[in-house]
Structure 1
Amino acid sequence: MTMFFDPFRELDRVAGTLLDRRESPRLMPMDVYRDGDHYVLTADLPGVDPGSVDVDVDGQLLTIRAERTPRSQEGVQWLTRERPAGAYLRQLTLGKDIDTESISAHYENGVLSVMIPVLEKAKPRKIAVETTGTRAEVTA
């Protein structure tokens, strides 16, 4: 069996062991974009138990929590273990023009999607321009 040795990865592993990173929240990469009248947040949470995913809103603070439980297998000798277990946490401050009552979330295939609608009053709209009197003709 061949093994790839990366000294930087090994240094990171040793530093993580010494600093015991297991207690800190895990990285949750995410994308946020606007699609019409709502924002879409997608976050990568591979291997997370769907029952542990928690999305809540408190005022203007959106909080996402999840947890990946470690796979414990008795009698095995780990050669490498790069899929960290532990808690995920991400918090975002929402703008005042967000409809916090209508936020929805869906978790599928390791990706959490959160739909964040914009309030009706904050949506772009056309303003009618009115004129008064008669229109004067311009002649050259």
Structure 2
Amino acid sequence: YVVYNGRILQDNEDIHPDQMYHVIPRLVGGKGGFGSMLRAIGAQIEKTTSREACRDLSGRRMRDVNNEKKLKEWLGKQSEREREKEEKRKERIERRRNKPQHKFDDPTFFEQKNKVVEDLEDALQKGNVATATQATFG
């Protein structure tokens, strides 16, 4: 719409040159409800409690500062971990030393084993003799 001297001009009124007019465009209004939509989304969004991405006064990220502290602590405990590892290794060696040695002592088993070995040797010799005689006759 057009305003002249504080009043809105009608469509049938003439516009004179050399006069000051204010043209105010009309905007089509929407359905509304945008505010309630923002409220609904705001209720769903959780605010972060992590300050890891923030920076300290010197400009370093807090995540980096915290990781550096953790690394120093971990390196400080390194000697203790190595000592525990060495103790466990010594305990393992000690357990192996103290473990009773198992000896198998069964005379009947040894007799049977020796007999099986002798029988096997005899069978092999007989088989070799048989193949040798067949080869000469065959």
The answer to which structure has the higher strand fraction is 1
Please give the range of the TM-score, normalised by the shorter of the 2 chains: under 0.3
Bigger Rg, structure 1 or 2: 2
Greater per-residue helix proportion: 2
TM-score by length of 2: 0.20
Q: Please, what TM-score do these two structures have when normalized by structure 1?
A: 0.20
Higher relative contact order (CA 8 A, sep 6+): 1
